Chains A and B, each alone.
Chain A
Amino acid sequence: MNKIWKIAIYEFKRHVFQKRFIFSILGIPLFFLFMVGMIFLLVKFQNNEKPIGIIDPGNKIDSTIVIPEAADLDLPVEIIDFSNEDVALAALEEEQIQAYFLLPENYPENTEVSVYFSEKPGDNAYDHFRNLLRANLLQNQSENTINRILEGFNPIIRTPDGLREFSERNAINLALPGIAGASFMFIILMSANYFSAIIAEEKENRTMEILATTVSPYQLMGGKIFGTIGVVLTQVLSWIILLFVAQRIAAGQSDALWLTDPIIKTRTILMVISILVPAYILYVSLITMVGATATNVQEGQQIAGMFIMPLSLSYMFLAVIMENPNSPLSVAISLFPLTAPTIMPLRAAFTVVPTNQLILCVAILILCAGIAIWLAARAFEIGMLRYGKKLQIRELFTRKNRLSS
């Protein structure tokens, strides 16, 4: 087997078959599940199962009417008709009901409804009351009309050139570039730990000289980079699978079209991939270069952490991009290679980025990634036997030969 793959497999196994890796894979989804659970609990606490009372002096409301399914009630409540306010108030004081609604005598001409409660009623109480009124107003309409009205409206917003469209089903297209940019930052943060330690570890434990006389620098770097990319991909793929499972579960629980039947445009996917792939190679190479110049693992990781700064700084420009995604500043930072992977997708979320700018952005990223790979290989070659003495970046451009310790 080729030595590159032997090194790659060794690096992959060394990281993946560790308890801490399993924890890191499960940790994020578990945290996410915890947060979702908290939101569910919060929503649950905002609902109240107690009945609500209705006082309808005009006798215009049929409180026994069946509310159509399209109304999508979270937690229906029992509705009790009261003949007058005194009885309703007594029931409220005895905590038999959570609130009562008093309709005006001339309803529906007058739509001003009063609600009385001791403690704030649950959101489901309001929802159920509103749907009861709607069902009564629509009772003479056909079932289709009732359902269509109760579903609400689903506008489709389209730009004049037809390139961008927004509706509930393709809402993910608006969010995806932004999510991709944020995920990229997270993946880089995660990768930084692995890649900064790529060479620093061998320098720290003094195995570098043995490896350098066993395999070529190209085989060593190639194997380590492939192995580490494998580790990161395993982590990301595990999360995508867990996300997919979560989406399937959530889709069964929800009627939201963007979740149950999302449409993702090919242009969006292509744009995200063509920007993020060279950007990832660029970042990984730069982090590896820093790892090769560091004297130990800790130092490598500290310096590599700095590469997150341009990515996180991108979010400081969020307001500028949202207000004017085509301003010279927005265009400039979306083309700058270190901020492009987060800014360009963000811009794409708020405007139609001209194709020539997208091509220029990808071209700059590919060129810079190529230069970064060369720099990483050079840093490794020069710095591999430097112990305790840091390699200066300028040496990458000035020295001809490999140097001694």
Chain B
Amino acid sequence: MHTIDIKNISKRFGTNQAVKDISFEVNPGEIFGLLGPNGAGKTTCLRMVLDIFKPDTGSITLFGGSLDEGKKDKIGYMPEDRGLYQDIPLERCLTYLSSLKGMSKTEIKEQLDINLEKFGLADHRKKKVKELSKGMQQKAQIIATLQHKPELIIIDEPFTALDPINTQLIKDILVTLKEEGTTIIMCTHQMHQVEELCDRILLMNEGEKVLYGKLNEIRKQYSGSDVIIESPNEVPQIPGISNIEKVNGTVRVGLENSLSPQDLLQNLIVNNIQIEKFQIAVPSLSEIFIQAVTKDGIDE
């Protein structure tokens, strides 16, 4: 059973078709990336999953059925629009939000002590939320999302306002949660974070599905016939090489269909070219993102 099963959902706001016929599944215990440029329809999709909006068409299944009040306690959601009660102490704010997720007083206290310590906020628990820095508030928001140990975590842009140390802390926590079997949906446009964390992705543009599947398969699909070579020697112009480009001490070599990477490697060895690095050039997710989105319509 999929944790989330979405079939052909669409949503229109006035004249704006925010989501067009989107279908995807999220499997238990995976980190699923929902990607797309601003206005792609990612947040609308998430809001439909969480029953904040009703889809005009299509169906959404969560944990094998429709979302009811009981299932809401199994979900931890961190929206893009961050928000905590500003005028009350951090501890009271988190206690209240946790109690609404069905936790008992003892569970809340126990879990809150652990989380405040883990996120470095233990000394700030009595401070009013508005007195905390932006990064601290972001961490507090993440605690509010994880506090009740949800089975499904949905986080919209989790790394905004975090410094590199805290970004790594959150990444480590997400990986640990995944290993413990928690399903995570991460909505972001920070591609390098997706590359590091996600198992599968859905790339959306203008409300439509552009790419969907396992991250490594998508990357393979978009990898061309370029190779990256690191060598103290000049790469010779061999028939079948379309272009040679120097990038940061390495050379990116474009190959025509007549020349395979294996043939090129053999040729270089024969020509006594000293090779320190030889790598098939796999495109970064950012490149795939730009390529897919541009091809799909941004430039139209």
Chain A contact residues, CB within 8 Å of chain B: 3, 6-7, 10, 14, 202, 205-216, 219, 385, 387, 401-405
**Structural contact, B44 and A207, CB atoms closer than 8 A:** no
Given contacts A205-B84, A214-B101, 4 further A-B contacts (CB under 8 A): A205-B85, A209-B79, A213-B75, A214-B97
The answer to whether the Cβ of B69 comes within 8 Å of any Cβ in the partner chain is: yes
**Structural contact, A3 and B100, CB atoms closer than 8 A:** yes
Q: Pick the most buried of A208, A209, A215, A403: most chain B CB atoms within 10 A of its CB.
A: A209
**Structural contact, A205 and B69, CB atoms closer than 8 A:** no
Binds A, one of B46-54, B109-117, B174-182, B210-218: B46-54
**Structural contact, A212 and B54, CB atoms closer than 8 A:** no
Inter-chain CA distance A213–B79, complex, in Å, is 10
Q: Mark B8-38, 1 if CB is under 8 A from A, else 0.
A: 0000010000100000000000000000000
Inter-chain CA distance A402–B53, complex, in Å, is 6
Q: Which 8 A-B pairs give the minimum distances between C-beta atoms?
A: A206-B83, A209-B79, A207-B83, A206-B81, A213-B50, A213-B77, A214-B100, A205-B83
The answer to whether the Cβ of B86 comes within 8 Å of any Cβ in the partner chain is: yes
Using A14-B88, A205-B83 as known contacts, say yes or no to A210 and B144 having CB atoms under 8 A apart: yes
Inter-chain CA distance A215–B73, complex, in Å, is 9
Contact of B99 among A6, A14, A385, A404 (CB under 8 A): A6
**Structural contact, B54 and A6, CB atoms closer than 8 A:** no
Of chain A, the residue at the smallest CB distance from B144 is A210
Contact of A6 among B72, B81, B100 (CB under 8 A): B100
Show 18 residue pairs from A and B whose CB-CB distance is below 8 angstroms, ordered by the A residue: A6-B99, A14-B88, A202-B83, A206-B81, A209-B77, A209-B83, A213-B51, A213-B72, A214-B72, A214-B97, A214-B101, A215-B100, A216-B69, A385-B47, A387-B81, A401-B56, A402-B53, A404-B44
**Structural contact, B79 and A210, CB atoms closer than 8 A:** yes
Inter-chain CA distance A387–B44, complex, in Å, is 15
Chain B contact residues, CB within 8 Å of chain A: 13, 18, 44, 47, 50-54, 56, 69, 72-73, 75, 77-79, 81-86, 88, 96-97, 99-101, 144
Report the minimal beta-carbon distance from B181 to chain A, rounded to whole angstroms.
21
Q: Which residues of A lie under 8 Å from residue B100 when comparing CB positions?
A: 3, 6-7, 211, 214-215
Q: Which residues of A lie under 8 Å from residue B101 when comparing CB positions?
A: 214
**Structural contact, B79 and A205, CB atoms closer than 8 A:** no
Report the minimal beta-carbon distance from B97 to chain A, rounded to whole angstroms.
7
Inter-chain CA distance A209–B44, complex, in Å, is 12
Of chain B, the residue at the smallest CB distance from A14 is B88
Report the minimal beta-carbon distance from B139 to chain A, rounded to whole angstroms.
15
Of chain A, the residue at the smallest CB distance from B130 is A205
Q: Which residues of A lie under 8 Å from residue B86 when comparing CB positions?
A: 205
Q: Which residues of B lie under 8 Å from residue A219 when comparing CB positions?
A: 69
Report the minimal beta-carbon distance from A307 to chain B, rounded to whole angstroms.
26
**Structural contact, A385 and B52, CB atoms closer than 8 A:** yes
Using A210-B144, A214-B100 as known contacts, say yes or no to A402 and B52 having CB atoms under 8 A apart: yes
Q: Which residues of B lie under 8 Å from residue A215 when comparing CB positions?
A: 69, 72, 100
Inter-chain CA distance A211–B77, complex, in Å, is 10
Q: Pick the most buried of B53, B82, B83, B144: most chain A CB atoms within 10 A of its CB.
A: B83
Inter-chain CA distance A215–B99, complex, in Å, is 11
Inter-chain CA distance A401–B52, complex, in Å, is 10
Inter-chain CA distance A365–B296, complex, in Å, is 58
Inter-chain CA distance A219–B88, complex, in Å, is 22
Using A213-B72, A213-B77, A402-B53 as known contacts, say yes or no to A206 and B96 having CB atoms under 8 A apart: no
Report the minimal beta-carbon distance from A323 to chain B, rounded to whole angstroms.
51
Q: Pick the most buried of A3, A205, A210, A216: most chain B CB atoms within 10 A of its CB.
A: A210
Of chain B, the residue at the smallest CB distance from A18 is B87
Inter-chain CA distance A294–B158, complex, in Å, is 29
Contact of A404 among B13, B56, B83, B96 (CB under 8 A): B13
Of chain B, the residue at the smallest CB distance from A215 is B100
Q: Which residues of A lie under 8 Å from residue B47 when comparing CB positions?
A: 385, 404
Q: Which residues of A lie under 8 Å from residue B82 when comparing CB positions?
A: 206
Of chain A, the residue at the smallest CB distance from B68 is A216
Report the minimal beta-carbon distance from B52 to chain A, rounded to whole angstroms.
5
Inter-chain CA distance A211–B72, complex, in Å, is 10
**Structural contact, B85 and A207, CB atoms closer than 8 A:** yes
**Structural contact, A209 and B144, CB atoms closer than 8 A:** no
**Structural contact, A403 and B13, CB atoms closer than 8 A:** yes
Using A6-B99, A7-B100, A404-B18 as known contacts, say yes or no to A213 and B52 having CB atoms under 8 A apart: yes
Using A10-B96, A213-B52, A213-B72 as known contacts, say yes or no to A208 and B77 having CB atoms under 8 A apart: no
Q: Which residues of B lie under 8 Å from residue A211 when comparing CB positions?
A: 100
Report the minimal beta-carbon distance from A107 to chain B, rounded to whole angstroms.
76
Report the minimal beta-carbon distance from B126 to chain A, rounded to whole angstroms.
16
Report the minimal beta-carbon distance from A379 to chain B, rounded to whole angstroms.
16
Q: Which residues of A lie under 8 Å from residue B51 when comparing CB positions?
A: 213
**Structural contact, B53 and A210, CB atoms closer than 8 A:** no
Of chain B, the residue at the smallest CB distance from A387 is B81
**Structural contact, B54 and A401, CB atoms closer than 8 A:** yes
Inter-chain CA distance A372–B83, complex, in Å, is 29
Inter-chain CA distance A202–B75, complex, in Å, is 20
Q: Which residues of B lie under 8 Å from residue A14 when comparing CB positions?
A: 88
Inter-chain CA distance A387–B85, complex, in Å, is 16
Report the minimal beta-carbon distance from B13 to chain A, rounded to whole angstroms.
5
Report the minimal beta-carbon distance from B78 to chain A, rounded to whole angstroms.
8
Report the minimal beta-carbon distance from A405 to chain B, rounded to whole angstroms.
8
Q: Which residues of B lie under 8 Å from residue A216 when comparing CB positions?
A: 69
Report the minimal beta-carbon distance from B3 to chain A, rounded to whole angstroms.
16
Inter-chain CA distance A208–B99, complex, in Å, is 16
Inter-chain CA distance A207–B85, complex, in Å, is 7
Report the minimal beta-carbon distance from A348 to chain B, rounded to whole angstroms.
43
Of chain A, the residue at the smallest CB distance from B156 is A209
Of chain A, the residue at the smallest CB distance from B84 is A207
**Structural contact, A208 and B69, CB atoms closer than 8 A:** no
Inter-chain CA distance A206–B78, complex, in Å, is 11
Of chain A, the residue at the smallest CB distance from B97 is A210
Q: Which residues of A lie under 8 Å from residue B81 when comparing CB positions?
A: 206, 209, 387, 405
Q: Which residues of A lie under 8 Å from residue B18 when comparing CB positions?
A: 404
